[in-house]
Amino acid sequence: MTIVGEIDLYTAPGLQSEFTRLLQESPTTYVVIDMSGVEFCDSTGMNVLLSALKRLKERGGTLELAAPRPAVRKILQVTGLDSVFTVHEAVPGKLLTAEPKG
């Protein structure tokens, strides 16, 4: 999943809806979010990510973050969420070479 722009009070509800849709429509248990296009993420956005992580863990899965920009990485570090999420420097190569399933 790729997110771009800002995740804040105004955009977080849309992101929450997308996670809800994804989790309802598929048996997905492993989600990696490409954060390279996210310029800003406030506490509302972090709560959406935490909620999605919790829901995935309930079904035995996980949510990981990839390629956060420095501003987002700093928020993760200051809040301690960098120890809650697995954070990759880049999108994991295995995902870039994976064949679409269908």
Tens digits of residue pLDDT in 41-100: 999 999 999 999 999 999 999 999 999 999 999 999 999 999 999 999 998 776 654 444
pLDDT at position 96 is 55
Note whether residue 51 is domain-resident.
yes
pLDDT at position 6 is 95
d(CA 52, CA 7): 14
The pTM (predicted TM-score) of the whole model is 0.86
Note whether residue 49 is domain-resident.
yes
pLDDT at position 92 is 79
Note whether residue 4 is domain-resident.
no
Query: Looking at residue 20, which CATH number applies to its domain?
Result: 3.30.750.24
Note whether residue 48 is domain-resident.
yes
Split into its structural domains, the chain has a count of: 1
Domain range for 65: 9-88
Sign of CA dihedral 16, 19, 24, 29: negative
Note whether residue 97 is domain-resident.
no
- Is it the case that residue 7 has pLDDT exceeding 80? yes
Note whether residue 95 is domain-resident.
no
| 8 Å CB contact between 65 and 95 | no
Residue owning tokens 């295995």? 94
